[in-house]
Amino acid sequence: MLQAFILTFHDGLEAFLAIGVCVAMLKSSAHARLLPAVRTGLLASLVASAVLGWRFSSAANPAIWEGGMSLLAAVAVAFLMPHLWRRRSADLGDTTRVLWLGLFAFTLLIVTREGMETLLLVATLIVQVQSLELIAGAVVGLGSSAVIAWLWARYGARVRAQRLRPVTALFLTLLLGLLLVDAGYELAEARLLPGSTVIAAALEPLAPDGEYGQFSSELLLLVPGAWLVGAILWGNGQATNHRIAHLDR
């Protein structure tokens, strides 16, 4: 049960937390009118995960699928990053439609990248393994990651955009780096890159199942979370000092 929980929690956190962080940023920075792009992307990702999961199960070289999805997701993250720093919705100008499509693609790719493997795992547990304990562990792990993402989206949006913006930047930078590492490793494993053997050996410790890469989801959660808490405490401390100084005058 614990192994099934860890697998689905790890994959779900990497997918859902990215969406939760972006939703919080959109709400906090007055871009809430772009939220339908995220909702539409989530609905589309459910269908895409089911279809691609079925194709992935019979793929001759799964590494190509995993590497390709990670690379596409990295492109979507890189496109999205500069647009989320706009302070007002009016600053988007004529790029609103492009950003809507970018958010849709980001949500679709981030969730489908992990969703196709997660749904395949759950389907295998239900149809072949038929272990209620393992099925429960997988469902609880996936649900737990979704709850954490929901909490970030709900309460992160209450943080001022000035404090949330650098946290979002840090999160997306970490996510972009992890996606590029994963893409490089999987495509090297598929022997699609020059010097694939050397590249795969170099990136293996950082890959999702590697010595350090296995903690990637925890890194995405804890580092930006610690930054956000520190920023809030620092801001509250400065505000308190300002009030004390004002009273002393």
Q: Give the mean model confidence (pLDDT) for residues 163-167.
A: 80
Nearest to 176 by CA among 37, 72, 28, 102: 72
pTM equals 0.82
Tell me the CA end-to-end span of the chain in Å, nearest whole number. 62
CB contact at 8 A, 113 and 43:
no
Nearest to 118 by CA among 97, 95, 138, 94: 138
Q: What is the mean pLDDT of residues 74-79?
A: 92
d(CA 118, CA 52): 11
Residues with Cβ within 8 Å of 42's Cβ and at least 6 positions away in sequence, in order, are: 19, 107, 111
Q: Which domain holds residue 18?
A: 2-248
Compute the Cα dihedral for 183, 188, 190, 193 and give only its sign: positive
User: Pick from 38, 25, 26, 65: which is nearest to 49 by CA?
Assistant: 65
The larger pLDDT score, comparing residue 158 to residue 138, is at 138
pLDDT tens digits, one per residue of 84-143: 665 554 445 546 788 888 899 999 999 998 888 888 888 888 888 778 888 888 889 889
Amino acid letter, 21: V
Q: How far apart are CA 246 and CA 249, in angstroms?
A: 6
Q: Enter the tokens of residue 247.
A: 């009273």
Q: Count structural domains, the chain.
A: 1
Q: Which residue has the higher pLDDT, 70 or 222?
A: 70
Position 183 pLDDT exceeds 70: yes
Specify the amino acid at residue 164. Answer: L
3-class secondary structure for the chain?
Answer: CHHHHHHHHHHHHHHHHHHHHHHHHHHHCCCHHHHHHHHHHHHHHHHHHHHHHHHHHCCCCHHHHHHHHHHHHHHHHHHHHHHCCCCCHHHHHHHHHHHHHHHHHHHHHHHHHHHHHHHHHHHHHHHHHCCHHHHHHHHHHHHHHHHHHHHHHHHHCCCCHHHHHHHHHHHHHHHHHHHHHHHHHHHHHCCCCCCHHHHHHHHHHHCCCCCCHHHHHHHHHHHHHHHHHHHHHHHHHHHHHHHHHHHHC
Q: Higher pLDDT residue, 35 or 234? A: 35
Q: Are 28 and 159 in contact (CB under 8 A)?
A: yes
Task: Give the per-residue pLDDT at 235.
Answer: 58
